[in-house]
């Protein structure tokens, strides 16, 4: 039944990429000048791809909905970027990074892609340093590393708490050099609204100029989608307000299969929601869990008093606190992977132990770290019998040096001093591992249509490790796509420029215009946000951190009904031929209303728990792992790639079997 | 809290524009400023009026998209934050708040509070990069040690988010803090030395061409900068610019 060919090269995993690159078709420099490539999205993946393709000599047209490529949401990544440099001499290697990524992804990713990712990771750091990215350094002038959750080595490179920003600005600078040379034509404040296919090949896009509202046709020999993830299907997430799935969803509707939509990462350390007006959630780097201890009150009576504002966390005695991660996972404690930490927080809050007015928050407490560091500093500085105040002062200074910017950010938002009272955190949607299905070349099931970065499904399986998103985005854009796309474009050297005055462009353009006119003319009664918030609530309640058959079936029906209501009742003010943010949102939410249903359908099909996907029906029933997620390799070791057939509920499943030749499948245990 | 908002409304670049009064009620002190604007816009849509256009995206102070001039200050009364990080607890019940776009000749208004900052793009394109192609074989990242001090200082300069608050704040509409930050980042790193003279010359030339004013050392930009970019960067740019004049182009 499957039509999926992953095109993974033969041979030992260590040699696959090198051998493949040696034999791949190349386009000669003179011919590259006659070939156009469209890149949609200018974050780490799209920005690095656009710059590299232009350096190679292709004519690149890059599109961003923001007013500058520098504002793509990659900019918000805090923690760092992994690379198997082994600068610390702690036993890291390409194989180990590969192994950690596959294991962290709960054995649901494609081995060959992950190995290649690990292989090129070291080149990324070299490239970024050459571009002038100011990574953190030690006193000897060499690059510094930190460690991240779920691994046993220090391989994370960082630039303060703004690694994503610095890497994106690096890619942006490379783009600027090519924009200045005229090799990249940059279309800021433009949104891709559909893809145009001619004879089965992707040949261009229809885009809306977000300033004038004009609908434009752009042609190319290949189209690259780098539009990021679909986390905003939950309405509240750590994504930017404009982050959307429209480009990815539109290509899905034109023949690109959509893989594993149910794999979503819920990040455990976000600032909790404070009220219904909330527009987004703010993430704090998970590095905080290195020193913070997570707890809730042991007694329900204390929890209730806290929720009503009658009790303060500092008034709860040590023995009345439940450090539930340390209790449940003594080996990893507060450093269990993101999915495990998130579910454990939800479990306590669902049981009524949440610690803010909404009941959806747990404490992240630095008091013991402050004491530990304080005592250590007193010893280092030779202070005998230090007072309690002195220890606290010394300890706070260390915590400030490590996490100062995060503490400041927290204080700005919550208006509480986290040095004196525990932080409150709660999980929030952060990253989507699922996405457009691609083969080893990063090509989708549509010829000449590529998908890179978070928008594709390929490397993180069912759960992504910290500091691996930046690595994948740049690997795809700098080091993978520029090679693999040449193999396809080598056959395009005689094609000539693609005309846009054809019936194919005309048809897609009129579909796009029709939809826009519908929104403008529909005299509904409810705003776009009204529907988006309701969709978000269905997704969070029934397709969130923990899922079951009944809830998923309800979610599918509810989303379908909501979608129908949306098309009747949505109200979009203003005109089509002007800057109109409500119109932009309407198009995006219309797509989320379809994607959400496929998401639930995928979650319903996958009757196992793996990574970020937790099915309540699939848990260990006895033994040491009782109550923990239970994977089912026998029946579900495959990629679920969905083919569009009209309604999301009618999507057809294609399976890509996952074979593990270089890694043994094991249960993830953090006990 | 209940507030009166005086918001700049302007249909397009050619429109004259004016301040329009709005009332919003029951605003929570925990809301961010942009969430308050969301409430207003929902209210306007419900009444059949056109919502206020404003730029925003990440809502966590890093993308540099949001850009309001609030009660006469870029990003409002708080320090070290962008508008999306400004919270309503900075205001009091009954307050009247003036909300205008960033104003500068080089930042024309597109609509309402949205301005065109592509002049910044063109300055970056004039030289805000190191000319290195992507390949798998640039030298090893640790081949050139860089002192921690220089790396940290370069990082402090590189932290600029390109929001334009410095320009909006400056009485001369100068972009020298923005340009100085980029020039400094590369001037402080060995990788940036090779093209240093050309870079500063080209970026400054483009900055002048775009119609930004010059620096008269008032220092307001440093105070209003949400990322605390230091005035030292302007001094360093001037030094780089001056020394570049002794090198043949």
d(CA A351, CA A645): 41
DSSP letter string, A3-40: -----PPSS-TTTHHHHHHHHS----HHHHTT-EEEEE
Nearest to A137 among B78, B138, B146 (CB): B146
pTM: 0.96
Mean pLDDT, residues B196-219 taken together: 97
Which residues make beta-bridge pairs with A81? A157
A21: Cα within 13 Å, side-chain hemisphere: 13
How near does any CA of chain B get to the CA of A427, in Å?
Answer: 17
A70–B58 CB contact, under 8 Å: no
- ipTM of this predicted complex? 0.98
Asked if B208 is an interface residue toward chain A (Cβ–Cβ < 8 A), one would say no
Find out whether A195 and A202 touch, Cβ atoms under 8 Å: yes
A68–B57 CB contact, under 8 Å: no
Closest CA to A270 of A229, A226, A239: A239
A180 CB neighbours in chain B (<8 A) are: 125-126
Superfamily of domain B3-111 in CATH is: Beta-grasp domain (3.10.20.30)
* A283 → chain B, closest CA residue: B60
pLDDT of residue B23 exceeding 60: yes
Mean pLDDT, residues B20-49 taken together: 96
| In chain B, where the domains are located | 3-111, 118-245
How would you classify the pairing of strands B96-101 and A449-451? Answer: unpaired
B118-245: CATH topology:
Fumarate Reductase Iron-sulfur Protein; Chain B, domain 2 (1.10.1060)
Residue with the two structure tokens 């409002």: B76
Determine the Cα angle at A207 with ends A203 and A208, to 5°. 170
Find out whether B76 and B33 touch, Cβ atoms under 8 Å: yes
The single-letter DSSP state of residue A313 is G
Find out whether A121 and A475 touch, Cβ atoms under 8 Å: yes
Helices (H), A281-329: 300-307, 324-328
How much of chain A is in helix, strand and coil states, percent to nearest 5? 45, 15, 40
C-alpha torsion sign, points B25, B26, B32, B35: negative
How near does any CA of chain B get to the CA of A527, in Å?
Answer: 7
CB burial string A232-269: b at 16+ within 10 A, e below: bbbbbbbbbbbbbbbbbbbbbebbbbbbbbbbbbbbbb
B155–A141 CB contact, under 8 Å: no
Q: Which long-range contacts (CB under 8 A, 24 or more apart) does A613-616 make?
A: A613/A262, A613/A263, A613/A264, A613/A462, A613/A547, A614/A339, A614/A343, A614/A545, A614/A546, A614/A547, A615/A547, A615/A548, A616/A546, A616/A547, A616/A548
B140 CB neighbours in chain A (<8 A) are: 126
B107 CB neighbours in chain A (<8 A) are: none
A165–B89 CB contact, under 8 Å: no
pLDDT value of position A1:
46
B61–A581 CB contact, under 8 Å: no
What would you report as the CA-atom Rg of chain B, rounded to the nearest whole angstrom? 20
d(CA A103, CA A667): 9
DSSP letter string, A390-430: HHHHHHHHHHHHHHHHHHHHHHHHH-S-TTTS-EEEEEEEE
Mean pLDDT, residues B25-50 taken together: 96
Nearest to A141 among B61, B134, B148 (CB): B148
Find out whether B174 and B213 touch, Cβ atoms under 8 Å: yes
Q: Model confidence over B70-100: pLDDT tens digits?
A: 999 999 999 999 999 999 999 999 999 999 9
Which residues make beta-bridge pairs with A207? A192, A216
Strand (E) or helix (H) holding A201: strand A201-209
Asked if B146 is an interface residue toward chain A (Cβ–Cβ < 8 A), one would say yes
A51–B134 CB contact, under 8 Å: yes
Determine the Cα angle at A523 with ends A519 and A524, to 5°. 90
Is residue A1 classed as helix, strand or coil in its secondary structure?
A: coil
Find out whether A240 and A76 touch, Cβ atoms under 8 Å: yes
A186 CB neighbours in chain B (<8 A) are: 121
Mean pLDDT, residues B21-27 taken together: 97
How would you classify the pairing of strands A293-297 and A362-365? Answer: antiparallel
Using a 10 angstrom Cβ sphere, with 0-12 exposed, 13-18 middle and 19 or more buried, the burial of residue A285 is buried
Find out whether A424 and A362 touch, Cβ atoms under 8 Å: yes
d(CA B185, CA B192): 8
Asked if A63 is an interface residue toward chain B (Cβ–Cβ < 8 A), one would say no
A179 CB neighbours in chain B (<8 A) are: 121, 125
pLDDT value of position A287:
81
C-alpha torsion sign, points B156, B160, B165, B170: positive
* B109 → chain A, closest CA residue: A211
How much of chain B is in helix, strand and coil states, percent to nearest 5? 35, 15, 50
Other CB atoms within 10 A of residue A310 CB:
10
**pLDDT bucket at B249, cuts 50 / 70 / 90:** low
Q: Which of A21, A47, A68, A532 to mutate to test the interface with B (most CBs of B within 10 A)?
A: A68
pLDDT value of position A669:
72
Task: Please give the average pLDDT of every successive group of 10 residues along chain A, which has 671 residues.
Answer: 84 96 94 97 98 98 98 94 96 96 94 98 97 95 85 90 95 98 98 98 98 98 98 97 98 98 95 90 88 96 96 96 95 86 94 94 96 95 94 94 87 93 96 98 98 96 93 98 97 96 98 98 96 97 96 98 98 97 98 98 98 95 88 96 96 96 83 73
Find out whether B151 and A135 touch, Cβ atoms under 8 Å: yes
Higher pLDDT, A670 or B165: B165
B56–A241 CB contact, under 8 Å: yes
Strand (E) or helix (H) holding A209: strand A201-209
Residue with the two structure tokens 């600029």: B160
A137 CB neighbours in chain B (<8 A) are: 145-148, 151
Asked if A416 is an interface residue toward chain B (Cβ–Cβ < 8 A), one would say no
pLDDT value of position A150:
66
Q: Which of B25, B63, B144, B193 to mutate to test the interface with A (most CBs of A within 10 A)?
A: B63
DSSP letter string, A577-616: SS--HHHHHHHHHHHHHHHHHHHHHHHHH--S-BTTB-BT
Q: Model confidence over B102-142: pLDDT tens digits?
A: 999 999 999 999 999 999 999 999 999 999 999 878 899 99
B134–A138 CB contact, under 8 Å: no
B138 CB neighbours in chain A (<8 A) are: 123, 126-127, 129-130
* A158 → chain B, closest CA residue: B155
Find out whether B217 and A157 touch, Cβ atoms under 8 Å: no
Nearest to A73 among B58, B147, B155 (CB): B58
| Mean pLDDT for chain B overall | 96
pLDDT value of position A236:
95
Q: Which of A54, A280, A408, A424 to mutate to test the interface with B (most CBs of B within 10 A)?
A: A280
B140–A126 CB contact, under 8 Å: yes
Contacts of A224 (CB under 8 A, 6+ apart): A37, A38, A39, A40, A46, A49, A450, A451, A452, A481, A485
């Amino acid at each position: 039944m499957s039509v999926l060919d992953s095109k993974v090269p033969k041979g030992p995993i260590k040699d696959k990429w090198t051998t493949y690159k040696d034999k791949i078709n190349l386009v000669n420099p003179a011919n590259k000048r006659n070939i156009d490539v469209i890149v949609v999205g200018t974050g780490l993946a799209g920005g690095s791809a656009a710059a590299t393709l232009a350096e190679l000599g292709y004519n690149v047209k890059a599109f961003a909905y923001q007013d500058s490529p520098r504002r793509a949401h990659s900019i918000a990544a805090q923690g760092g970027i992994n690379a198997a440099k082994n600068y610390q001499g702690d036993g890291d290697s390409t194989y180990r990074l590969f192994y950690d990524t596959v294991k962290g992804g709960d054995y649901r990713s494609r081995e060959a892609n992950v190995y290649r990712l690990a292989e090129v990771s070291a080149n990324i750091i070299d490239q970024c340093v050459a571009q002038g990215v100011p990574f953190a350094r030690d006193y000897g002038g060499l690059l510094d590393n930190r460690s991240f959750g779920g691994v046993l080595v220090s391989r994370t490179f960082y630039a303060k708490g703004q690694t994503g920003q610095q890497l994106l600005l690096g890619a942006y600078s490379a783009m600027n050099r090519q924009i200045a040379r005229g090799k990249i034509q940059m279309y800021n404040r433009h949104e891709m609204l559909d893809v145009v296919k001619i004879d089965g090949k992707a040949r261009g896009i229809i885009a809306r100029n977000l300033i004038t509202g004009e609908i434009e046709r752009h042609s190319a020999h290949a189209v690259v989608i780098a539009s990021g993830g679909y986390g905003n299907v939950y309405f509240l997430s750590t994504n930017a307000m404009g982050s959307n799935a429209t480009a990815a969803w539109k290509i899905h509707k034109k023949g690109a299969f959509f893989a594993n939509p149910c794999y979503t990462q819920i990040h455990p350390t976000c600032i909790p929601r404070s009220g219904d007006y909330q527009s987004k959630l703010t993430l704090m780097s998970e590095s905080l869990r290195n020193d913070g201890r997570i707890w809730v009150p042991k007694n329900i009576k204390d929890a209730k008093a806290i929720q009503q504002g009658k009790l303060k966390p500092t008034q709860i005695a040590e023995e009345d606190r439940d450090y539930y991660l340390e209790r449940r996972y003594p080996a990893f404690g507060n450093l269990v992977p993101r999915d495990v930490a998130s579910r454990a927080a939800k479990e306590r809050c669902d049981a009524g132990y949440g610690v803010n007015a909404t009941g959806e928050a747990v404490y992240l407490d630095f008091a013991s770290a402050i004491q530990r560091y304080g005592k250590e500093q007193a010893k280092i500085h030779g202070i005998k019998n230090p007072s309690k105040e002195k220890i606290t002062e010394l300890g706070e200074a260390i915590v400030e040096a490590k996490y100062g910017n995060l503490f400041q950010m927290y204080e700005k938002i919550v208006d509480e001093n986290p040095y004196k009272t525990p932080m409150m955190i709660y999980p929030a949607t952060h990253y989507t591992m699922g996405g457009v299905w691609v083969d080893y070349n990063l090509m989708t099931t549509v010829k000449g249509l590529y998908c890179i970065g978070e928008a594709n499904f390929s490397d993180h399986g069912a759960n992504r490790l910290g500091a691996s998103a930046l690595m994948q985005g740049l690997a795809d854009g700098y080091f993978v796509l520029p090679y693999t796309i040449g193999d396809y474009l080598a056959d395009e050297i005689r094609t000539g420029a693609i005309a846009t005055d054809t019936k194919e462009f005309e048809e897609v353009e009129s579909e796009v215009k029709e939809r826009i006119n519908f929104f403008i003319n529909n005299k509904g009664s409810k705003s776009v946000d009204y529907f988006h918030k309701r969709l978000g609530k269905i997704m969070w309640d029934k397709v969130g951190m923990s899922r079951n058959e009944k809830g998923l079936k309800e979610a599918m029906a509810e989303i379908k009904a909501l979608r129908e209501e949306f098309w009747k009742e949505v109200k979009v003010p203003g005109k089509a031929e002007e800057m109109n943010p409500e119109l932009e949102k309407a198009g995006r939410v219309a797509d989320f209303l379809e994607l959400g249903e496929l998401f639930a359908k995928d979650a319903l099909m996958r009757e196992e728990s793996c990574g970020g996907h937790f099915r309540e029906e699939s848990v260990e029933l006895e033994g040491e792992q009782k109550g923990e997620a239970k994977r089912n390799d026998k029946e579900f070791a495959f990629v679920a790639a969905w083919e569009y057939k009209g309604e999301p509920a009618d999507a057809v499943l294609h399976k890509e079997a996952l074979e593990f030749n270089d890694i043994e499948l094991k249960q993830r245990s953090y006990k | 809290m209940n507030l009166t908002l005086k918001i700049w409304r302007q249909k397009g670049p050619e429109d004259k524009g004016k301040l329009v009064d709005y009332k919003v009620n029951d605003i929570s002190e925990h809301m961010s400023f942009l969430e308050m604007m969301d409430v207003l816009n929902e209210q306007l849509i419900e009444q059949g009026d056109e919502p206020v256009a404003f730029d925003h995206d990440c809502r966590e102070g890093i993308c540099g998209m949001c850009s309001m001039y609030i009660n006469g200050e870029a990003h409002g009364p708080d320090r070290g934050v962008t508008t999306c990080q400004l919270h309503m607890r900075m205001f009091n019940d009954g307050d009247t708040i003036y909300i205008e776009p960033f104003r500068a000749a080089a930042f024309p208004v597109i609509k309402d509070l949205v301005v065109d900052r592509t002049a910044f793009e063109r300055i970056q394109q004039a030289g805000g990069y190191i000319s290195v192609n992507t390949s798998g074989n640039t030298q090893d990242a640790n081949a050139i040690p860089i002192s921690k001090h220089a790396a940290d200082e370069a990082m402090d300069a590189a932290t600029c988010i390109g929001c334009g608050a410095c320009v909006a704040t400056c009485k001369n509409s100068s972009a020298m803090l923005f340009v100085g930050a980029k020039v400094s980042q590369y001037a402080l790193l060995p990788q940036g030395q090779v093209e240093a003279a050309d870079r500063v010359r080209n970026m400054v030339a483009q900055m002048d061409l775009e119609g930004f004013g010059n620096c008269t050392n008032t220092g307001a930009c440093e105070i209003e900068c949400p990322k605390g970019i230091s005035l030292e960067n302007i001094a360093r740019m001037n030094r780089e610019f001056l020394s570049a004049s002794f090198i043949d182009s």
